[in-house]
Chains A and B, each alone.
Chain A
Amino acid sequence: KAGVTQTPRYLIKTRGQQVTLSCSPISGHRSVSWYQQTPGQGLQFLFEYFSETQRNKGNFPGRFSGRQFSNSRSEMNVSTLELGDSALYLCASSWSGGGYEQYFGPGTRLTVT
């Protein structure tokens, strides 16, 4: 069974640009969650999608958005990038979200210069 995949794995952008990250969940999983990991703030929840609907959203500005497609693949978009957006972005999939084991992808390392 293939694991969670994320593309791209590494990305370098400049301030003001926008970026789109992609996550393909494990087959059969309908919930995809996104997290940001930085040395200063640690791991922070961004949002969760289930059956193409955003079910929960963390405390991030509106520059951070996401969506989920009918095949459960998910994308997150960050507009008007800031230096502080440099982080490891992780997505995780689970069968149905809360209470179910989450499987994490390898992450996308975003560097904003």
Chain B
Amino acid sequence: ELKVEQNPLFLSMQEGKNYTIYCNYSTTSDRLYWYRQDPGKSLESLFVLLSNGAVKQEGRLMASLDTKARLSTLHITAAVHDLSATYFCAVDMSNRDDKIIFGKGTRLHILP
């Protein structure tokens, strides 16, 4: 069974700290996406990672993909309150009917 596991599922951290969200998946894929969702809102695309070793950065967020380890990370640098949201990773299984499998999401709460 294809699984996409995020951890932690909940993270409360102080402003100014660094932290990493992990996304492990159980089968071969070289396409992975990160999304942000604010409460009551839709999803916002953060990063599209399309190959092994891909690294993308936007502001205080940096995402990477290791297809051999089947692992993606979302690193938060010097967190600020505005980054409080739920973050989802999603694995693109383009050759399977399931197409895109989402992790359960990491609810990030940044304390001012």
Contact = CB atoms under 8 A, between A and B. Distances in A.
Given A43-B88, A43-B102, A98 B94 contact: yes
A59 B98 contact: yes
A53 interface: no
A22 to B, nearest CB: 15
10 contacts: A42-B102, A43-B43, A43-B90, A43-B105, A45-B101, A56-B97, A97-B94, A98-B92, A98-B94, A99-B31
Interface in B81-101: 88, 90, 92, 94, 97-101
Interface of B: 31, 33, 35, 41-45, 48, 50, 88, 90, 92, 94, 97-105
B2 to A, nearest CB: 11
Given A42-B105, A43-B102, 19 more contacts: A42-B104, A43-B43, A43-B90, A45-B99, A45-B100, A45-B101, A56-B97, A57-B97, A59-B98, A98-B31, A98-B92, A98-B99, A99-B94, A102-B33, A103-B45, A104-B35, A104-B43, A104-B45, A106-B41
Q: Is the interface of B mostly helix, strand, loop or mixed?
A: strand
Interface in A4-54: 33, 42-45, 48
Contact of A99 (B35, B92, B101): B92
B13 to A, nearest CB: 23
B99 A102 contact: no
A44 to B, nearest CB: 7
B48 A99 contact: yes
Size band of the interface chain A makes with B: 20 to 34
A92 B33 CA distance: 13
Given A98-B31, A99-B92, A48 B45 contact: no
Contacts of B50: 99
Given A42-B104, A42-B105, A43-B88, A101 B99 contact: no
A66 interface: no
Contacts of B99: 33, 45, 48, 56-58, 98
A81 interface: no
Contact of A104 (B42, B100, B102, B103): B42
